[in-house]
Structure 1
């Protein structure tokens, strides 16, 4: 029944997408027309200004007696001008023949007119006479790129709008239709089984609510009659026994039926989506934002300094995660979510006003704490409010919503940074978290009752797990390289490398979103491949090799295209590894490490890969500072490829030791 909301939203989503895309197309046509009308006078004014400056400089030189053909270092002057003005493709001074020129002239059909009604567009005057004129060609590729940027930004906004609309439709369908149906079904099933101990709150606006209200009134009437009978009870033990039997059989109470509030993951998914999007909005420019801040530690290499906010964020997640689940069980997911919202909003606002690196590091560390609390509390909420037979599907939906928010935040953050400025993006992040907190406050049920005493955080058996050769090969060959690729390459090197190549934050955001899109698309396909008999270990090995080769290729020839392909390749590889890694670790935990238990082994895997990703990030940052971004990218690629070789040796060794039957288990 709970999937009905998603089914309704899935059927409505194409209609909503058509409406949104149609509106976006109309808006884009209007926007492109306005951009075109605004660019033309702006470029005309800039070319007139440039021509005037050149003409005045040439006139001053001529006034000193220097002949036009004898101007010294004029080409160097023009070359520097072209570097500072990317919209200009060609500058020349001519007298009927070209005297000085820099750049490449464009096609005459695309060039601006040299004359208007017999008068030169940019004449150079000396002693009242025209002695030369300036020719300036605007680069058509520059204009095309501006239009392309607008088109791509509109595309990103449309995709984000469709995904947010889908999440809103799921929530509204659940609250207005499927939740009421589910409430009616559960009450009817309980009363059909003879259980009248519960009642549910609901309105009377719809026929479904009125039907549920009839069931609630029936339970209340039976409890009321039971209370009256209990008050009239005499000293007869037989009558008391009969009433006690009725109370136990039908769940009757003298205080009336207990009010129960039904909880569903759909109540939480929009809030989780917005929180994940807010967390990832600055991904495309965070290293650049840190680099521009004041550095009070001049002795620390800049490349390492830039990595500190991300390192603090990851360290907070590592240290807080063991305590998040016990706190969720003690306070309840709703209270923990509300508790985490306030410092998270404050941290985003702090980032908006931050001017130094220590401020950025401290605020990012707070955000890491909030992320750990929110994601694990949401996961506990899903587990606690989902029937056991639907738990796997609900956890899959949880991961889908989380990655959907990350995808949207990554894509939208670059566009917002380009249009509004980097600092203002954090105000949008704070707004998203505030909306998420309001949704949690109004929709999520408080489920603290019956949770028992506060649980204690357990320490995962790190060393005991690593004594197993196959588990160690999985950790050092697949898990650690995958996390280092995510943190050191995706979250750190991509932004810095693309910025050095002249990419804008919007370009960086669009490149990074391909990584998360590839994971979302490839992950289910990799799972289906395993279901069709392809060994899970082979899927993981292929993912590691693909990631390593993609990064090494980009390191050999850095460009925006090769970096894009490297991000795509690492996303596909991570999508292949993600599910296979969990499956392999569970297989080892249930066989070779059975004495430790599955949960502690998985905890050890998570702890080791997270600590290693922090160390890997700092080492890669140091390499980038010493040898450049290309060498650092090559180092991450070599780690991924070397890890795949290590895991491959372990896999083949295990098969050789166990025989052909091991293939089914691996």
Structure 2
């Protein structure tokens, strides 16, 4: 069944990509033929401008061979007119009187001087032969990215559009067969019967209902007769085969959250490539703070609000309703993005980002709560895959498209567009989410005692503060703060920055599932977390070999992505593994809540650390220092866990007991 869904999705995307590839080829094929004449027209215009200036000088009696400052003027013409490589003023004998730039074989324009004093003289302009090819090269890259993004968005649309139709029926039948294979005879949520798979699911449910009805009849008979032996035997059958139970909501129900979540996350990801640059242009000096720290402040405020608000909003979204909460968050996000577009100083920008942060936290928590409410423990992994998948796809699609848009229509307009996406998320939530969703019993919030017990464990503290927190610091500091600022400072456009920021999520999407399959035993998980931290930190050292080379920066982002992919799944698994030694004194939800809180603190610290170091040491040294700290943290974590393994397991328990005693 799973292969049917994959093949169907692949066929639909293949057709779409084939059409896009044809259109892209035709576009790029005609581009150079259209660009060269345009540059020629530009050269003609520049030539007339130069000729007019020289004519005015000749008309007032200045000899052609005694013009002062003309070469500096010609250099300025070449510098500020992309596509022009050489400008010269030639005499009647074709001799070069004044020139700037380098002559090429691609002639652009020859404009004769109109003044009688300059008879026979002319302005000669050559074009840069690499200019048009560079534009076409970048066009090909943008078209390729658009194709990839379009394919991903198409898959999202297919998944969303058909999630309750054909795809829903296929998935429903797949779930039934998987349950039957493992001996689970629970009842399932009905699926639409307008397709072959829907009809198969209906017939399966009818047969299963007959078995369940027969079981209940026998159980009623046993109770009526007082046959304890038969009742006990039937109880064992019920426990073994889950007879009479309901499997719970399927991913078909959970898919309702995917559309609004994907669209909202896409809104935030659109701003990744240019947000630090936008802040830099609005920032004004603050006494006692370096310019780099000032630039980091709006990002720090955003991430700090998200970190602090998420633990609180769990209860709020549960009481207000996930649908209403998500719509509230989308509305706040839309207002925040539009306000950011019209901000004129750092204070206004920071306030706008604060509003956006509250909206982001509302959407994230409400969406995650909807998944938890709609699934039971047997389907939680599938439901969370829908949740995480929407975020990862948005992370891949947003930065390159945001960079292209910022380059074409400007950064403020792209923020407005992000606001429209957030507003679209609100509409999608109103249309797709049920008004009266199932609500689970509220899980108690984290208490101070839980912090003391958790952080009293040496292994958990080592995992949290030597691996999880540094991993988030290097991600936000390097990917979202330092790289956009530095790549832009190297003279690259926003589209290039967007392409660069696509590298990290692409590595994560491809490699996380692969590395997750290796994280079986606790020793292997520890090695993966240590190795991932070392690799991510070593990526920063690449800046020693060429911080001004964009390709070296791209490799650094790739190495960072591979390192993070190695460690992200084992980290989560080790939280539960190490937490088991607390002997149930801290609930699993509190344990993971503290873990996520530490991660979010790392997110908030990233821009501040990067800004402070950037002002002191520059880009290359800052990245290297952060990389060294991440690598050292991973090594210390590995040594700490290794030294406390085996017979030392009880040491953590002793420390935990002492911590519990101190709290009491």
TM-score normalised by length of structure 1: 0.79
**Which of 40, 44, 53 is equivalent to 2:36?**
40
* Contact in 1 for aligned 2:89/2:98 (Cα 8 Å): yes
**Which residue is 1:514 aligned to?**
503
1:112 aligns with 2:101: no
**Which of 166, 169, 181 is equivalent to 2:155?**
166
**Which of 303, 306, 310 is equivalent to 1:314?**
303
**Which residue is 1:102 aligned to?**
100
SS of residue in 2 equivalent to 1:529? coil
Change (3 A) 1:626 1:402: same
1:155 aligns with 2:144: yes
Q: 1:524-556, CA deviations, whole angstroms, 9 ceiling, x for partnerless residues? A: 122123349982222222222222222222255
**Which residue is 2:354 aligned to?**
365
* Contact in 1 for aligned 2:317/2:325 (Cα 8 Å): yes
Change (3 A) 1:366 1:626: same
The alignment of Structure 1 onto Structure 2 pairs a total of residues equal to: 604
SS of residue in 1 equivalent to 2:122? strand
**Which residue is 2:275 aligned to?**
286
**Which of 394, 398, 401 is equivalent to 1:405?**
394
1:13 aligns with 2:13: no
**Which residue is 1:81 aligned to?**
77
1:577 aligns with 2:581: no
Distance 1:389 1:581 in 2: 22
Distance 1:207 1:59 in 2: 82
Change (3 A) 1:126 1:340: closer
**Which residue is 1:603 aligned to?**
593
Distance 1:628 1:37 in 2: 43
Change (3 A) 1:78 1:470: farther
Once the two structures are TM-superposed, the CA of residue 49 in structure 1 deviates from its matched residue by 2.5
Q: 1:598-632, CA deviations, whole angstroms, 9 ceiling, x for partnerless residues? A: 33333222222322432342132122234433333
Once the two structures are TM-superposed, the CA of residue 65 in structure 1 deviates from its matched residue by 7.0
Once the two structures are TM-superposed, the CA of residue 498 in structure 1 deviates from its matched residue by 0.8
Q: Which structure 2 residues correspond to residues 480-495 of structure 1 after superposition, within 5 A?
A: 480-495=469-484
Once the two structures are TM-superposed, the CA of residue 518 in structure 1 deviates from its matched residue by 0.6
Moved more, 123-132 or 585-594: 123-132
Once the two structures are TM-superposed, the CA of residue 558 in structure 1 deviates from its matched residue by 1.9
**Which of 610, 623, 626 is equivalent to 2:613?**
623
**Which residue is 1:249 aligned to?**
none
Q: 1:267-289, CA deviations, whole angstroms, 9 ceiling, x for partnerless residues? A: 22222221211121111111122
Change (3 A) 1:71 1:647: farther
Distance 1:112 1:65 in 2: 31
Distance 1:582 1:134 in 2: 69
SS of residue in 2 equivalent to 1:535? helix
Change (3 A) 1:598 1:59: same
Distance 1:140 1:523 in 2: 44
**Which residue is 2:331 aligned to?**
342
Moved more, 523-532 or 408-417: 523-532
Once the two structures are TM-superposed, the CA of residue 86 in structure 1 deviates from its matched residue by 3.1
Q: 1:572-602, CA deviations, whole angstroms, 9 ceiling, x for partnerless residues? A: 1111121122122222111267543433333
Once the two structures are TM-superposed, the CA of residue 486 in structure 1 deviates from its matched residue by 1.5
Q: Which structure 2 residues correspond to residues 223-372 of structure 1 after superposition, within 5 A?
A: 264-293=253-282, 295=284, 300-372=289-361
Q: 1:499-525, CA deviations, whole angstroms, 9 ceiling, x for partnerless residues? A: 101111111111101111111111112
Change (3 A) 1:59 1:401: same
Change (3 A) 1:633 1:154: same
Q: 1:155-185, CA deviations, whole angstroms, 9 ceiling, x for partnerless residues? A: 2222222112112222233322354688899
**Which residue is 1:231 aligned to?**
none
Distance 1:534 1:454 in 2: 32
**Which of 381, 388, 395 is equivalent to 1:392?**
381
Once the two structures are TM-superposed, the CA of residue 402 in structure 1 deviates from its matched residue by 1.5
1:440 aligns with 2:429: yes
* Contact in 1 for aligned 2:285/2:291 (Cα 8 Å): no
* Contact in 1 for aligned 2:172/2:191 (Cα 8 Å): no
Moved more, 128-137 or 302-311: 128-137
Change (3 A) 1:348 1:209: farther
Q: 1:289-345, CA deviations, whole angstroms, 9 ceiling, x for partnerless residues? A: 222236485775432222122112111111111122222332332232223222222
* Contact in 2 for aligned 1:556/1:630 (Cα 8 Å): no
Distance 1:290 1:538 in 2: 40
Q: Could you say what the CA RMSD is over the residues aligned between the two structures, in angstroms?
A: 4.0
**Which residue is 2:239 aligned to?**
none
* Contact in 1 for aligned 2:169/2:193 (Cα 8 Å): no
**Which residue is 2:640 aligned to?**
650
